[in-house]
Structure 1
Amino acid sequence: MKKSISIIQTTLVAAAVAVFATGCTKNLLDQMPTTEVNVDQFWKSEDDATYAVMGAYNATRSVFDRDYYFDGQGEYTKTRGTSTTSTNAVAYNPSSSAGYSPQSYGDKFDNYFEGLYGSVNRANYVIVNTQDLINRNIGNAANLQRIIAEAKLLRGMTYFRLISMWGDVPYFTKVNTTNSDVATLSRMPIAQIKDSIMADFNYAFDNLPVKSTQIGRAAKPAALAFRGKLQLFWACWNKNGWPELTGFKPDAAAAVEAYKAAAADFGHVINDYGLTLFRGGEPGAIDTLGGADILPNYFYLFQPIANGDAEMIMTFTHGGTNTGQGEELMRDFGGRTQESAQCWVNPRYEIADKYQLTTTGDFAAKLIPMDPTKAGARTTLNSAVNPASYANRDYRMKATMLWDYEKIIGMASLKSSGFAPYIYKTWGAQITLGGVNYITYNTDGTKTGYVFRKFIRNYAGQGRSDGDYNYPVMRLADVFLMYAEASNEAYGPQADAVALVNKVRHRGNLPPLTGAKYADKNTFFSAIEQERIVELLAEGQRGFDLRRWRALERIWGGVGATGRYLLDTQGAQNDRYYNNAIDRDYTRAYIYKIPQGERDRNPNLTQNTPWL
């Protein structure tokens, strides 16, 4: 395919080209590879349809399994670029590192636009050809309908992401094979696309099994959860407005109905399928400050031991070592001490104050950034460089991040190199602690004072790009919190919603919310937002939450304000966003720019108003 093909470019699967150029190994959903098979030799049996849907999963995985980068568009996660070795890195790689910062990102996602449409076209390819098998009475009709349901779920997820970023977008359900197929497509109004996505999710729910026998293949709870999430976003857009999207008119009554529908779907996911939080939602045990021999259960939720767990409603599988389909979480989150990882993603200083106290269930006194070379900095109460300031915090904090003098297992040449203490700005140095000699954790890429533990393997044997963790794009804790949000908006604080938020809090060993935290709709919303921040950190949710809530001005200060400096633990003013911002700075953050290259090739593609 020529590079100039509009929208889908080189990622499409066409009638006369190789079916799965990206490959589909046995490690991916237990299927054998299918490569270089022409359509006139393919689509002869039910097995062909099964192989094809594996390719659709692979294509969709490539635009969802690095969603953690999107957290950089919020205030609690800092990214400094993206890793660029695997196929999905192309889609996630913006035109500059500003793509994953809180400001000036809306015109940086041309590659992602292309990648999403590649996923759409792959799903369409499966749907059209599998339906043709049904029409020809080839194979088991129920099994083939399941395959169509999986492809429609993937297509719905992808179009949902497209409208969440660009609003009105081109919509098609056929297989596009040439430039002329897409050269004149116009943008369809978001309301029509939403209805089409709903139809895909409805079909998926009707035709997927209650539980899949293969890890990574979707079942009914996934369709319900994504249907609920679509309705939640639709409710938010109608309640809060989307003025940057020309032609969209918010409707308060439609918002209420959508909140109710979302709550109903989430309620079914929660109550009807026997799903439970990982390890029963119990916090587990925790080591002393500085120790890392005993880590809370939340840490293991993001390790391969959690693959196939009931909390993981929808995941994308990875093949691991020597498959070419390993995940790169260690590379992106770890430091050089872990198989020469690169520390692309870091917790910001500001997240630490969001972890509440296990003793009171409320916030601790705010941390104070201090220069560690100053006398008393390491011992001053509430100093950010005093390890004791982090005592009695939500267990998820230790499971998620490291502060000064916390330890992590190093890895080199597929072997453990022992514990390495983290000390900000002290990289790979010899140090003695408690009479034991260590080499400090080398994370010279970080500028915040903290680094992640979340997603980093604590066992040897796999390279930085060879993980086999099944990346979650929908998990039960998120559904709990979305249910609480939707039901709160529709009905006010409800006892069952409060109980679900408390279940999420319990995994951090926090006490239940006090009555004051859910006394009314606004206070309960704040409690829900708080849990979303700490529970879903670095899972790609925060930026999307801020936009659907119209909360950017609340976070950054609004038009004409001085904006906000983001600090490090030693008091440095690392980044400043929205200083003296004009209206356009915010409008361009609420909606993305239609790629100009697509508009140059297709004059029917209009542009979003802030980008004219």
Structure 2
Amino acid sequence: MALNDNKMKNITINKIKDSVKDILITLCFVSAICTMSACKKYLDIVPDNVATIDNAFTMRTEAEKYLFTCYSFLPKDGDPFYNVGLLSGDELWVPTQEWDFVSYAWRGARGGQNAANPYMNAWNGNYQGGGPGDNYGLWKGIRNCNIFLENVKDESKVRDLRPDERARWIAEVTFLKAYYHYYLLRMYGPIPLVDQNIDISAPEDDVRIKRKPFDECVAYISGLIDESTTNLPPIITDRTTELGRITRPIALAVKAKLLLLAASPLFNGNQDYANFKDRDGVNLIPSAYSAAKWKSAADAAKIAIDAAEQAGAALYKFPGSTFKLSDTTNLQLTLRSSITERWNIEHVWANPNTRADMLQRVAMPKLASGGASGDARMQLAAPLKIAEMFYSSNGVPINEDKVLNFSNRYSLRTAVDKERFYVKVGYETARVNFDREPRFYAALGFDGGVWYKYDSPSNSDENTWVVEGKYTQLAGATHVGFYNETGYYIKKLVDWNMTNSTNGVSYRDYPWPQIRLADLYLMYAEALNESQGPVNDVFEYVDRIRKRAGLAGVVESWNSFSNNPNKPTTKDGLREIIHQERGIELAFEGSRYWDMKRWKKAGEVFNQAITGWSVFQANTLDYYRVRTIYTQNFVAPRDYLAPIRNYDITVNPKLVQNPGW
């Protein structure tokens, strides 16, 4: 745990020297001011002058700075360099040159994770987006939350703070404290629980705390969230100055995620951890399966859904524009803008701690000549297996569709007029790019694929932008480092308002959608299926998402088009459908990595080859040859939990390392 000393009496654990006389616990108070900008802008965390505890809680204005210091540790998931889930698994791949794109998550995906100096180290804050010493370790965030709570709960301090504000601020920071514990739990498994900071004069034995059993961690975090919900607002009423602050639906959604994690196979009946114990012989992860955990997860998800919908949340629908657009393109913009439209009604939690500007640049292919190579870097690439994951246009997996034949999916086919809103008419591309569901075309760009955006040359979706991705073409792999490794570009993450002009490019950034209502729907469906099987509510909530995506319901689609029509009638079959639905709906949002781990599927899927088209070829036939780019090596069960840095194990002998590390 990373800590520093700045004349503070209370601290959380950091580096503990072996000598009792020389226990050195350091504490650093990083003061940051969070300015609330105008409506539809963000909670900006800006470094302020370093403050001390002596004056941080003397008046409201100073205490507010410390409040937003607590917020400043929220994950920067809108930044491709910091989002653990985006590049740690198999969903996205980038060029090997790492040209202006050093991703420690991706280095981990290629087998580079280690216990000496772990990548994406949320425990200490090292090797995240900026390299060693990023200084955003979550134990530091928890420490700051504890300092805030200790002082603001003392009504003799911050005397000019209104009682209702005091209650709300305490609730917000209580939630943040819970969330930082949850984030660590998801990454490392059982963790220490730091409810109060430890006094600098505490005995060595009190300072060296140990990891608590997983279920105890879940109960503690859940209790903190319950404590916070009473005084959190259901909605943000002051949208001019408070967008980005925590609400009751956010807290309830995170509790649902926590309980879903606890119910999932990784932590529920996993015999791989039967011998995972602390130094006193206490089991850290239960090896016995509990069906009751799935019911708790389902109940929590439904409560979160109800709270979100009562607060006005709904699946997003594109309202239309002044341009004349087809129904096909309007649906595409609905699906794309459910991510990129700022503060839209589907965003249960929009996290403004990072803005999705760089994310869009590294996703965007070059569609127009001119401009700098860094304007559209097209480095984020989806492996071929991810492109194949999306359904056919009949709403079933391509290997199950009994009407459409995808057995020859790597052969070539030429687009015709009825396909013009998806593929350029007369363009020859792979058969796998035809007859796919709307989310395929909303999420992915590809050679010959239409990419409609605001500055369409025709002011409509006819004769608009098209990706041309072969070697000698505009979006081809001609720039060292700034190219797409697989031939599949990530359209979903780029706001449709992106424009090219003679003065360069313009991206409209947006707060990262940490939790969408669609995610909650699928969480509820998953947990309910596990606890009760294929009951009506499971289909109801999955079908809401499918309907928004232009697809028929699960039962209708499988009955009409699948060669396995009975699949939705069993718990196992419906589980597989829900898992694939989550993969499609939440693609490129950082969810797949965590889902594959909690389902205990990572040992299988993260050991499959990363493949794509032969992007360094100019000829069509040569380009559409499947190329193996990399073969991953996920070591199970070791890689299911991140390593704690060896140094932390050394200085705190009560800590035990995760299995295999």
Whether these two folds match at TM > 0.5 is: yes
Cα distance in 2 between the residues matched to 1:109 and 1:287: 45
* 1:573 lines up with 2:582 in the alignment: no
Q: Any idea what SS the aligned residue of 2:230 has?
A: helix
- How much is the aligned-residue C-alpha RMSD, in angstroms? 4.4
Which of residues 337, 347, 352 is equivalent to 1:300?
A: 337
In structure 2, runs of 5+ residues without a counterpart are 6-11, 16-24, 125-136, 278-282, 368-372, 417-422, 560-565, 614-624
- Note the alpha carbon deviations across 1:215-234, whole angstroms, 9 max, x for none: 21121111111111111111
Which of residues 229, 252, 275 is equivalent to 2:257?
A: 229
* 1:250 lines up with 2:274 in the alignment: no
Residue in 1 that maps onto 2:210: 186
Query: Contact 1:395–1:507 (CA<8 Å) still a contact in 2?
Result: no
Residue in 2 that maps onto 1:129: 151
Counterpart of 2:55, as a letter, is: Q
Which of residues 358, 361, 386 is equivalent to 1:328?
A: 358
Residue in 2 that maps onto 1:546: 596
Cα distance in 1 between the residues matched to 2:512 and 2:184: 20
Q: CA deviation at 1:429?
A: 4.0
Which of residues 449, 454, 457 is equivalent to 2:495?
A: 457
Cα distance in 2 between the residues matched to 1:82 and 1:256: 47
Deviates more, 1:452-461 or 1:224-233: 452-461
Counterpart of 2:438, as a letter, is: Y
* 1:111 lines up with 2:121 in the alignment: yes
Q: CA deviation at 1:379?
A: 4.4
Cα distance in 2 between the residues matched to 1:380 and 1:134: 72
Cα distance in 2 between the residues matched to 1:162 and 1:256: 24
Q: Identify if the C-alpha distance between structure 1 residues 242 and 251 changes in structure 2 by more than 3 Å, giving closer, same or farther.
A: closer
* 1:143 lines up with 2:140 in the alignment: no
Q: CA deviation at 1:242?
A: 6.0
Query: Contact 1:488–1:494 (CA<8 Å) still a contact in 2?
Result: yes
Q: CA deviation at 1:568?
A: 1.1
Residue in 2 that maps onto 1:434: none
Cα distance in 2 between the residues matched to 1:31 and 1:168: 30
Q: Any idea what SS the aligned residue of 2:471 has?
A: coil
Cα distance in 2 between the residues matched to 1:184 and 1:527: 46
Which of residues 45, 50, 62 is equivalent to 2:59?
A: 45
Residue in 1 that maps onto 2:466: 421
Residue in 2 that maps onto 1:401: 444
Cα distance in 1 between the residues matched to 2:173 and 2:79: 17
- Note the alpha carbon deviations across 1:159-189, whole angstroms, 9 max, x for none: 1121122122233234579799996333233
Query: Contact 2:236–2:247 (CA<8 Å) still a contact in 1?
Result: yes
Q: Any idea what SS the aligned residue of 2:629 has?
A: strand
Residue in 1 that maps onto 2:91: 76
**Residues 20-419 of structure 1: pairs in structure 2 closer than 5 A:** 20=32, 24=35, 26=37, 28-29=42-43, 34-62=48-76, 66=80, 68-79=83-94, 94=104, 97-101=106-110, 105=113, 107=115, 108-109=118-119, 111-114=121-124, 115-133=137-155, 139-175=161-197, 184-213=208-237, 214-236=242-264, 237-241=266-270, 243-244=272-273, 245-246=276-277, 247-250=283-286, 252=288, 255-272=290-307, 273-274=309-310, 275-280=312-317, 295-303=332-340, 306-317=341-352, 327-335=357-365, 339-359=374-394, 361-363=396-398, 364=401, 365-366=405-406, 368=408, 370=410, 377-379=412-414, 386=429, 389-408=432-451
Counterpart of 2:359, as a letter, is: L
Cα distance in 2 between the residues matched to 1:15 and 1:130: 20
Q: Any idea what SS the aligned residue of 1:610 has?
A: coil
Counterpart of 1:270, as a letter, is: I
**Residues 434-453 of structure 1: pairs in structure 2 closer than 5 A:** 444-453=482-491
Q: CA deviation at 1:262?
A: 1.6
Q: Any idea what SS the aligned residue of 2:259 has?
A: helix
TM-score by length of 2: 0.73
Cα distance in 2 between the residues matched to 1:467 and 1:427: 29
**Residues 1-12 of structure 1: pairs in structure 2 closer than 5 A:** none
Counterpart of 2:545, as a letter, is: V
Residue in 2 that maps onto 1:519: 569
Cα distance in 2 between the residues matched to 1:282 and 1:106: 48
Residue in 1 that maps onto 2:527: 486
- Note the alpha carbon deviations across 1:2-33, whole angstroms, 9 max, x for none: 99999768xxx99884522x865645438997
Counterpart of 2:108, as a letter, is: G
Which of residues 466, 469, 474 is equivalent to 2:515?
A: 474
Percent identity, aligned pairs only, is 20
Which of residues 644, 648, 651 is equivalent to 1:594?
A: 644
Cα distance in 1 between the residues matched to 2:97 and 2:57: 38
Q: Identify if the C-alpha distance between structure 1 residues 242 and 55 changes in structure 2 by more than 3 Å, giving closer, same or farther.
A: farther
Q: Identify if the C-alpha distance between structure 1 residues 167 and 283 changes in structure 2 by more than 3 Å, giving closer, same or farther.
A: farther
- Note the alpha carbon deviations across 1:114-158, whole angstroms, 9 max, x for none: 222233223223322221247776522332121121112222122
Query: Contact 2:42–2:511 (CA<8 Å) still a contact in 1?
Result: no
Counterpart of 2:219, as a letter, is: D
Cα distance in 2 between the residues matched to 1:318 and 1:490: 36
Q: Identify if the C-alpha distance between structure 1 residues 31 and 547 changes in structure 2 by more than 3 Å, giving closer, same or farther.
A: closer
Residue in 1 that maps onto 2:617: none
Cα distance in 1 between the residues matched to 2:430 and 2:157: 66
Q: CA deviation at 1:299?
A: 0.7
Q: Which structure is larger by alpha-carbon Rg, 1 or 2?
A: 2
Query: Contact 1:222–1:314 (CA<8 Å) still a contact in 2?
Result: yes
Residue in 1 that maps onto 2:655: 605
Q: Identify if the C-alpha distance between structure 1 residues 184 and 343 changes in structure 2 by more than 3 Å, giving closer, same or farther.
A: farther
Q: Any idea what SS the aligned residue of 1:423 has?
A: coil
Q: CA deviation at 1:531?
A: 0.8
Deviates more, 1:263-272 or 1:126-135: 126-135
Cα distance in 2 between the residues matched to 1:82 and 1:267: 45
Query: Contact 2:643–2:658 (CA<8 Å) still a contact in 1?
Result: yes
Q: CA deviation at 1:509?
A: 0.8
Give the number of aligned pairs.
563
Counterpart of 2:521, as a letter, is: F
Q: CA deviation at 1:293?
A: 9.2
Q: Identify if the C-alpha distance between structure 1 residues 489 and 219 changes in structure 2 by more than 3 Å, giving closer, same or farther.
A: same
Query: Contact 1:18–1:36 (CA<8 Å) still a contact in 2?
Result: yes
Query: Contact 2:336–2:495 (CA<8 Å) still a contact in 1?
Result: no
Q: Identify if the C-alpha distance between structure 1 residues 16 and 118 changes in structure 2 by more than 3 Å, giving closer, same or farther.
A: closer
Cα distance in 1 between the residues matched to 2:152 and 2:94: 41
Cα distance in 1 between the residues matched to 2:330 and 2:350: 28
Residue in 2 that maps onto 1:560: none
Cα distance in 1 between the residues matched to 2:514 and 2:114: 22
Cα distance in 1 between the residues matched to 2:252 and 2:2: 39
- Note the alpha carbon deviations across 1:296-326, whole angstroms, 9 max, x for none: 30111222xx32222111121158xxxxx66
Cα distance in 2 between the residues matched to 1:81 and 1:211: 44
Counterpart of 1:233, as a letter, is: L
Cα distance in 1 between the residues matched to 2:54 and 2:26: 12
Q: CA deviation at 1:430?
A: 9.9
Q: Any idea what SS the aligned residue of 2:381 has?
A: strand
Query: Contact 1:357–1:394 (CA<8 Å) still a contact in 2?
Result: yes
Q: CA deviation at 1:541?
A: 1.3
Counterpart of 1:588, as a letter, is: R
Query: Contact 1:330–1:456 (CA<8 Å) still a contact in 2?
Result: yes
- Note the alpha carbon deviations across 1:346-374, whole angstroms, 9 max, x for none: 2111122222233454535447575xxxx
* 1:531 lines up with 2:584 in the alignment: no
Cα distance in 2 between the residues matched to 1:173 and 1:84: 42
Residue in 2 that maps onto 1:436: none
Q: Any idea what SS the aligned residue of 2:93 has?
A: strand
